[in-house]
Amino acid sequence: MFTTTISTPIVGIAEGAFDSYAEATRKRFRVSYGQKVAEDPFAQVRIARAASDIDASWLQLTRNMGEMYALAERGEEIPMELRTRTRRDQVLATERSVAAVDLLMENSGGSAMRTGPGLVQRAWRDAHTGRGHAANDPERALVMYGQSALGIDIQDTMA
């Protein structure tokens, strides 16, 4: 379960960025296009994509943690299939959450970087920093899942 403690805050960061972005976007006017940003269909698509990625991340993380916790409560061993699925979903939750924050940041305009510490800008920095943790190495975790699915003995200590 350790690796999920690294990804869970990143998903929370993405959720906070989404809420902040949506609130700010309801009021924002884009001078270059002469319209409210909320009326821009491309901004609406980015919001939808970001929300879906965040939801998918929460669903997978909570499902896996719930299954692992139930086994631990019963004193049962956590099978390798669940351990590798949890690692797979954990790194992909991080990846999706970082991508969601990236979408929001891209649509926040240049002022998001110039006007000092805003919540989306801070979330962008924090999510990318968290992505750098060793637990969020997607290739390593995905290889473990692939090995497990193919019946190959896993030697990695983070499984």
**What pLDDT, on a 0 to 100 scale, did the predictor assign at position 137?**
87
pLDDT of residue 110: 66
Predicted pLDDT at 111: 64
Residue 115 has a pLDDT of 58
**Residue-level pLDDT at 53:** 97
pLDDT at 80 (0 to 100): 92
| CB contact burial 80-91 (16+ within 10 A = b; e otherwise) | eeebbbbbbbbb
- Per-residue pLDDT at 55 exceeds 90: yes
**Structure tokens of 98?**
């970082």
Judged against a pLDDT cut of 70, whether residue 40 lies above it is answered with yes
Confidence (pLDDT) at 65: 95
| Amino acid letter for position 83 | R
Going from the C-alpha of 104 to that of each of 5, 39, 50, 142, the distances in angstroms are 24, 15, 7, 26
**pLDDT for residue 112:** 64
Question: What DSSP string runs through 83-141?
Answer: HHHHHHHHHHHHHHHHHHHHHHHHTT-THHHHSS--HHHHHHHHHHHHHTSGGG-HHHH
CATH superfamily for 2-149 is Butyryl-CoA Dehydrogenase, subunit A, domain 3 (1.20.140.10)
The pLDDT value recorded for residue 19 is: 93
pLDDT(49) > 60: yes
pLDDT at 57: 97
Spans of all domains in the chain: 2-149
- Is the CB of residue 140 less than 8 Å from the CB of residue 154? no
**117, pLDDT greater than 50:** no
pTM for the whole thing? 0.87
- Residue 36 carries which DSSP code? E
